[in-house]
Amino acid sequence: MNEKSIDASFIRSFDEDGFLIVRSVLDEGSIKILREELETAIEEDLIARPETFDAGMVHNCMFRGKEMARLLNHAALNAYAKSLLSEHCIVYAYQSSSLFPGSGNYGSRIHVDCPRFIEGYVSNIGVIFPLDDFTEQNGATFYLPKSHLRPSLPGEDEFFENAQRIPARKGDMIVFNARLVHAAGENLTDKVRHSLTINLCRPYMRQRFDFARMISKETLDVLNDDGKRMIGMNVRMPSSLEEFYLPSDQRPYKPGQE
Ligand SMILES: O=C(O)CCC(=O)C(=O)O
């Protein structure tokens, strides 16, 4: 898949509605491994840091399992991100959003995933990979139609009177304008609902963590060129004049990152 194969109706739906759903981009085998890696990471984090404000949410998922790292290589993710944001786009944040039985999570507050409103300009997109079907019972994401077009957030009454649910299934990919006002629901079932969420930004913006410095050789080795770009390997700052004057193919900050 490449940017050219994206249907114009998808782009229209992203521009007008603020989001689009690409069906069945992950197969059962991959979903199974992603769930296992995520559940292990959740358990480890709850032991290491049980009291954080967002307990149960895993940060920097690409460093917590090879399949979660490989997601950054995914052809559909890259094609849509390049087409809707920038061919040089990078990860701002990569985390999970799980809803445990009987509860919401940190994402259940009414929020946007980008604090800036710049009319007619997208600086960030959000991507959600549901690892379980999203249903009204297990907390399918609420969103306020067309709210990506307005500068301020609605109040709770306006939001919940007009919100709709995102009808995604496991293996789909939801891509949304990060200004779309949304909230995870509450899981009223007795089974956990998992998802992975990636926020992408333009290449000249800062990432939430210094991924290029944090990444291990082992993780770097599972990434293709797209995955490496996503991590931020093409927008590292030179730390010396020697690095600045390296031949262009070896420079940490590659030219043309717009
Ligand atoms: O888990 C969800 O349903 C919503 C996730 C979310 O709020 C986010 O990615 O910002």
Q: If you take atom 6 of ligand 1, which residue's CA is the nearest one? A: 107
Cα dihedral value 166, 171, 175, 178, nearest 10: 70
Whether the predicted model's global pTM rises above the 0.75 cut: yes
How far is ligand 1, taken at its centre, from the CA of residue 208, in Å?
Answer: 17
Instruction: Kindly state if the Cβ of 95 falls inside 6 Å of ligand 1.
Output: no
Q: If you take atom 7 of ligand 1, which residue's CA is the nearest one? A: 107
What does the alpha-carbon distance between residue 46 and residue 63 come to, in Å, rounded to a whole number? 17
What does the alpha-carbon distance between residue 13 and residue 171 come to, in Å, rounded to a whole number? 20
User: All domains of the chain, ordered by start, with CATH?
Assistant: 3-250 (2.60.120.620)
Query: Which atom from ligand 1 is nearest to the alpha carbon of 195?
Result: 1
Instruction: Kindly state if the Cβ of 128 falls inside 6 Å of ligand 1.
Output: yes
Helices (H) and strands (E) in the chain, counts: 9, 8
Q: If you take atom 2 of ligand 1, which residue's CA is the nearest one? A: 184
What does the alpha-carbon distance between residue 69 and residue 27 come to, in Å, rounded to a whole number? 16
pLDDT at 216: 98
pLDDT at 11: 82
Instruction: Kindly state if the Cβ of 197 falls inside 6 Å of ligand 1.
Output: yes
How far is ligand 1, taken at its centre, from the CA of residue 97, in Å?
Answer: 6
Burial class of residue 251 in the structure, from the number of CB atoms within 10 Å of its CB (0-12 exposed, 13-18 middle, 19+ buried) = middle
Ordered per-residue pLDDT tens for the chain, 258 residues? 666 567 788 788 899 999 999 999 999 999 999 999 999 999 999 999 999 999 999 999 999 999 999 999 999 999 999 999 999 999 999 999 999 999 999 999 999 999 999 999 999 999 999 999 999 999 999 999 999 999 999 999 999 999 999 989 999 999 999 999 999 999 999 999 999 999 999 999 999 999 999 999 999 999 999 999 999 999 999 999 999 999 988 999 988 888
- Give the CA distances from residue 61 to residues 57, 58, 200, 214, in Å, rounded to whole numbers and listed in that order: 10, 6, 14, 12
